[in-house]
A and B are shown apart, each in its own frame.
Chain A
Amino acid sequence: MGIEQFLHKAKELGFSATVEPWIEAKKVKGADLVFLSPLKTDLQWQLLFKALLQLIEARTSYTDSLKNLELISDLILMGHQETLFEQSHDFAKWSAHLRALRYPATTQRDDQLKDKLEKLPWPYGSKTKFERRGDRAGIELKMFITSEADLIKAISSLERVKEQISE
């Protein structure tokens, strides 16, 4: 997908007033948009430009814009239309919604795992945060230890966590 082709399509479908300045401001190159080449119909392109307008409005970074555009183009090819724009008023929620649409089974598994892990008896005062890091999902655990007694209590709590996980 060359930039010229992309801009031509935007003009043809009436999106150039917003798309052109964005391309210029973000210095987007043709190679950045390689994932758009399977889009064929006007309806697919309209959905893509509509989504791009939302991303521009949300002032997303170059990287976030391209990452989400690729996700959106996948979803368009998978046949999504209006479902794409649910929660698009809030970028963080929209981004999570798009990921859930593209990765439904993983999202479901992550939700179950998060629920399970968050219910475990983590050490008192520790902070837990469920995260997906690439192909792995788990809990990030933060503890502040000030004494040997704190450490012993924390280890004992973690032993209970281990027991519950093994069950």
Chain B
Amino acid sequence: MNSSLPVFKKIYIDRCSENSEVAARVRSLYPAEIIETVEEGFLAAQRGPMTAEEFNLSKQTLLLTEFKGQFFKRCPGATQKKTLTCCNYHVLNLGSQCNMNCSYCYLQSYLNTKMSLIYTNIDQALEELKAMINEFPNHPFRVGTGEIIDSLSLDEITLYSRKLIEFFKPYPKWVLEFKTKSNKVDQFIDIPGANNITVSWSINPPYIIDREEHGTARFHERIEAAKKCRDQGYKLAFHIDPMIYHPKWKENYGFLVDEITSTFTPEEVQIISIGTLRYQPEQRHMMRDRFGVQSLVVGAEMFPSEGNKLRYDATLRGEMLSFVFKRLKSKSEKWNAFFCMETPETWISALEKVPMQIPELKEMFKPLPQV
């Protein structure tokens, strides 16, 4: 077995996925003794609330199955339009759970399946997308595959990136975004990039990556992977999100901004989104069990905010967001940055404006047709 492959202790293949390309690839990559075919109904039996231990195990067990619902959805931020300022992101979920282990991960309060899932019916997802594109070919939809699974950390197994890149290329108005904390880009890097294919990294300073983003690619590995993509003609994006408060936050986030702006140009990086730590209140117990109070995330000073999530004090949040935003703009006015899942009050406290008043963001935040 290739040592760089994601580690699974057990891989189940649902009978309906037995003849899929992904199943064939899994069989070629992993030892036969850890692979087992299961019958219909197996997935349903895995549903239910998870303990911390079960959540940990769900990262080491994989099920290949078909997804029965709608693949293409609006980002969860869009469901809280009354409280949050939404950037019109759409998501295409081709699996769930993540083989990396960030202390703040929202999947800890979101998932209810005791294993990682890869959906093998990508062709159905592409058909769904095709119907949407045919209906709205000239609307600037941004579609991400990294909402409830990392876009690329399991891509060596699925090779879905290759199919998606080829699918999106003929539709320049529609932007595909791979969002990752891995450095797994070699499996598609031979395909030339295009202006509507973005590879993005959720990124934090090394100090935070080392403490809170377990099992992810290190800071410089992510930057190196981004350089490879840039050199092959892909557009880039960075998500400085979630910013995590710690005594040296200014120094460390300053370093992060300086590294990005000295390595890439604003023309190469389509978007930099900025957000601060936030999570659902019920997630705190799972995080405490799994990472302990010494974690900067678990030990953070969090308070209930609009929309019910726990967040830092609003003034501190504004200060953190504004620091990164201004540091970026001090390098060049051309850096296109915005705040992710934030309230209009925070936009105003940090920038004295809401996105619709900022010319370079107006287009992105303009409401799109409902899906």
Contacts and interface: CB of A to CB of B under 8 A. Distances in A.
Interface string B271-307: 0000000000000110011001110000101011100
Contact of B292 (A35, A38, A102, A103): A38
Contact of B304 (A35, A102, A103, A134): A134
Contact of B289 (A37, A78, A135): A37
Nearest to A77: B293
Contacts of A74: 288, 293, 299
A53 B289 CA distance: 25
B288 A136 contact: no
Given A103-B301, A105-B301, A137 B293 contact: no
Interface centre among A35, A104, A106, A134 (most CB of B within 10 A): A134
A78 B305 contact: no
B288 A35 contact: yes
B312 A135 contact: yes
Interface in A106-123: 106, 109
Contacts of B284: 35
Interface stretch (B99-107, B259-267, B314-322): B314-322
B30 to A, nearest CB: 34
Contacts of A34: 285
A135 B314 contact: yes
B311 interface: yes
Contacts of B292: 38, 77
Given A106-B313, A109-B316, A135-B312, A38 B289 contact: yes
Interface in B128-146: none
B186 to A, nearest CB: 40
Interface string B325-363: 000000000000000000000000000000000000000
A100 to B, nearest CB: 11
B305 A135 contact: yes
Contacts of B314: 135-136
A34 B281 CA distance: 13
Contact of A109 (B289, B305, B313, B317): B313
A55 B353 CA distance: 46
B311 A38 contact: no
Contacts of B289: 37-38
Contacts of A137: 313, 315
A137 B313 CA distance: 8
A132 B292 CA distance: 27
Interface residues of A, number: 18
A78 B299 contact: yes
Contacts of B317: 135
Contacts of B311: 135
Contacts of A109: 313, 315-316
A135 B314 CA distance: 5
Interface string A67-87: 000000010011000000000
Contact of A78 (B285, B293, B301, B312): B293
Nearest to A35: B285
Interface string B48-66: 0000100000000000000
Given A78-B293, A135-B314, A137-B313, A38 B288 contact: yes
Contacts of B315: 109, 136-137
B288 A106 contact: no
A135 B293 contact: no
B301 A106 contact: yes
B354 to A, nearest CB: 18
A37 B312 CA distance: 25
Contacts of B305: 134-135
A135 B303 contact: yes
A84 to B, nearest CB: 14
Contacts of A135: 303-305, 311-314, 317
A103 B294 CA distance: 14
Nearest to A102: B301
Contacts of B299: 74, 78
15 contacts: A34-B285, A35-B284, A35-B288, A37-B289, A77-B292, A78-B293, A78-B299, A102-B301, A106-B301, A106-B313, A134-B303, A135-B313, A136-B315, A137-B313, A137-B315
4 closest cross-chain pairs (CB), A and B? A135-B303, A135-B305, A134-B304, A77-B293
Interface of B: 52, 284-285, 288-289, 292-294, 299, 301, 303-305, 311-317
Interface of A: 34-35, 37-38, 74, 77-78, 102-106, 109, 132, 134-137
Given A38-B289, A136-B314, 6 more contacts: A77-B293, A78-B299, A102-B301, A106-B301, A109-B313, A134-B303
